[in-house]
Structure formats: C-alpha cells, structure tokens
Amino acid sequence: MSPTLVLVEPAGPLNVGSVARLCRNYGIEDLRLVAPRCDPLGEEARLMAVKGLPLLERATIFPTLAAALADCGRVVAATGRPEGEPLPLEEPDEALAWLLAGDRALPSALVFGREDRGLSNDELLQAGRLLQIPTPTPHGSLNLSHAVAVVLHDLHRLGRRGPTPAQAPAPAPQASVGEGPCPRGVLEAMLDDARELLLEVGFLLPHTAAARMAKLRALLQRGQVSGPEVALLRGMVCQLRWASRRPFPSSQDH
C-alpha cells in the first residue's frame, strides 16, 4: 500500500498541481489537503497536475491535520528546522524505511507543511518520525513541490531495494510481531480524555495544559505506543475519573 500524502495549508496552486503530478509519477493514490489557502482545483493547479489531474480532483480536504491523520498508523513529517524539536530529526532513508515497515492494514502518511512556515510543534508531534532533507549549505528550506519530489524519489528507491538489515527497525521491547503504532485518531482521543481528567483533578492548569500535554504526546510518540497499549492507558484514565468523582465516606460511615 502506498502512503497517503498530506499537504498542510498549501498556499500555492502551482505547488499543489505539481504535487498531484508527482503523486501520479510515484504511484501515490491518496492525496489529502488540510485547509488549503488556495483553490486546489483552479486553473493554475490543473495546468501543473497534467496526468495527475484525476488524483487532484479526488483529493480529500480536511479542516485539521489531526482529522487528516485519524486513520493513519505510521506518520513521517518533513521539516526544515535545524534542530530536532520536538522530536529528533532523522535522515530520509532512516525515517522512510520505518514508514515502509508499517502495518499494511493501516494507512501510513507523509506530511508536508506550509510553504512559508512549515509545521507547528503541535503538528510535528502528530508524526512518529521527523525527516530533514540534507543540503550542502545552511539554506536547507526547499520549495514545497521540490521537497515532495526528493522524498518520493527516496521512498521509491528504498521500496525497490527492500529493507536492509541496517534499515530494518528494531522491534520494540515486549512488542508483538507486526504490532505497530495505533491509528492517530485513537491516540488523540485518549490524550483528550487524559487532558480532561488531569485538568479536573488539578494536575494541569488551563494556562500550562497545552505545553505539558505536548511533552506527554512527545513521550508517547517516542515510544510508538500500539493499539492495545493505548487501550490500557484509556482504561486507566476512565477508572481514575470514576474514582476521582466518588464521594469520600464521612466519619459517620465508619
């Protein structure tokens, strides 16, 4: 199964059309656009799409990145940031080999950010791996469609070659064979439940909740939690919520 390709708030119709053409060239069948800032079906986009026009016409538009990734398991996001924040940066071969090793029952995804400012920290934390395209100069930010072309070329090259022992990801400790990250929507739902509970019991404060939940999300992303593990965490949250709402026994009850 080829990965889904996600563009977050693309502003240039020429870029959108070019990416649709690249998807056609490299066998990508699912293009998702998050809140595009241009007309993805306008004349300029259609002009650049060429044989990728059918794919462009059936591209799905989502209001948020979380909605676009809800059914995806392994997610790799491209970033031009020089530092590995909020997750460590990886070479394309390393991140893409991990993507290719994913569970074929779940869609995987490649995410690319805005032309002018890339992806926010919150958006980067929705990926399991961050890749950066190496360049020989400090000016590492590429045009959106150029970045997509480089990454899809690397993905195609790795897919044809097959995983080597150096590229094959090491199994997580105590993980079941073939067990991979859970769908993004499942993880986000658990985090929403946890945030609500932690605010309710006073562990989180409204003005610091976003920053502290970002740290928790980063921790879970580094661990690449599986579906059963997320179900365990959600069960713990539900039980703790129930226990926190039970009335304390009065002294007369003793």
Q: Measured on CA atoms in the order 62, 152, 130, 99, is the torsion positive or negative?
A: positive
User: How many CA atoms, within 13 angstroms, populate the side-chain half-sphere of residue 52?
Assistant: 27
pLDDT tens, position by position, for the chain (254 residues)? 789 999 999 999 999 999 999 999 999 999 999 999 999 999 999 999 999 999 999 999 999 999 999 999 999 999 987 665 677 889 999 999 999 987 778 899 999 999 999 999 889 989 989 999 988 876 667 899 999 999 999 999 998 876 554 444 444 433 333 466 788 888 888 888 888 888 888 888 888 888 888 888 878 877 778 888 888 888 888 888 888 887 766 655 55
71 neighbors 183 (Cβ within 8 angstroms): yes
Sign of the alpha-carbon dihedral angle for 140, 72, 175, 197: positive
Give residues with Cβ within 8 angstroms of 189, minimum separation 6: 234
Residue labelled with tokens 């119709």:
13
Strand partners, 90: 131
Strands (DSSP E) contained in 72-137 are 75-78, 89-90, 109-112, 129-131
Instruction: Give the chain's domains with CATH numbers.
Output: 4-161 (3.40.1280.10), 184-244 (1.10.8)
